[in-house]
Amino acid sequence: MEKFEQWIFEPNVAERIFNDYMHRRRVDVRYRTRLKDVRKDGNSIIQIVLENSDTQQISAVVKAKIFIDCSYEGDLMAKAGVSYVVGREDNSDYAETINGVQLMGGHQFPDGIDPYKVPGKPEIGLLWGVSNEALVPNGTGDKKVQAYNYRICLQTKPLY
């Protein structure tokens, strides 16, 4: 029997747990900063410069032997000139089987949803974000940028 995957947590609880992990391991988390510059020695990153995202003033210069890019967009690697791919990789690129386009159950609109601005009237046009491109085979790569998404947590019980 297939189990439905769920992510059930309150964001404030997840944040509290994350902050506790960082505190216990003495990790200096810097909020409201962004990458300003990367300094390299040959192919190695040796230093990064951070700026305050509100004031655009330099807030820190960080030197390290190893840097890990944990940004959502890959800012550090891009700024360092590391090559990267935009879009889904084709299955054949790395001899894998679940890359590229995946048309699996639960990832598309269910049958019966009308894609047109005015239901039943294709001549008026498609809803924003709905494509009329032909479907390509599973595993096919593309150069499309992945969509962002937000998860919202709702409750009926007051927080305070």
Each residue's pLDDT tens digit in the chain (160 positions)? 677 777 677 788 889 999 999 999 999 888 899 999 999 999 999 999 999 999 999 999 999 999 998 877 789 999 999 887 788 899 999 998 888 888 776 556 677 888 899 999 999 999 998 888 888 898 999 988 777 677 777 777 777 7
> What's the confidence (pLDDT) of residue 13?
86
Residue 51 · residue 36 · CB < 8 Å: yes
In sequence order, the 6+-apart residues with CB closer than 8 A to the CB of 89 are 96, 99, 100, 141
Q: Is residue 159 part of a domain?
A: no
For residues 94 and 52, membership in a common domain is answered with no
Q: Tokens for 62?
A: 């960080």
For residues 18 and 70, membership in a common domain is answered with yes
For residues 132 and 81, membership in a common domain is answered with no
For residues 45 and 99, membership in a common domain is answered with no
Among residues 8, 65, 70, 64, the alpha carbon closest in space to that of 33 is found at 70
For residues 63 and 79, membership in a common domain is answered with yes
Residues 155, 18: Cα–Cα separation, whole Å: 21
For residues 33 and 61, membership in a common domain is answered with yes
Q: What is the pTM of this model?
A: 0.59
Residues 67, 76: Cα–Cα separation, whole Å: 9
Q: Tokens for 121?
A: 């009237």
> What's the confidence (pLDDT) of residue 70?
82
For residues 26 and 95, membership in a common domain is answered with no
Strand partners, 58: 51
- Which residue is it, tokens 């498609």? 126
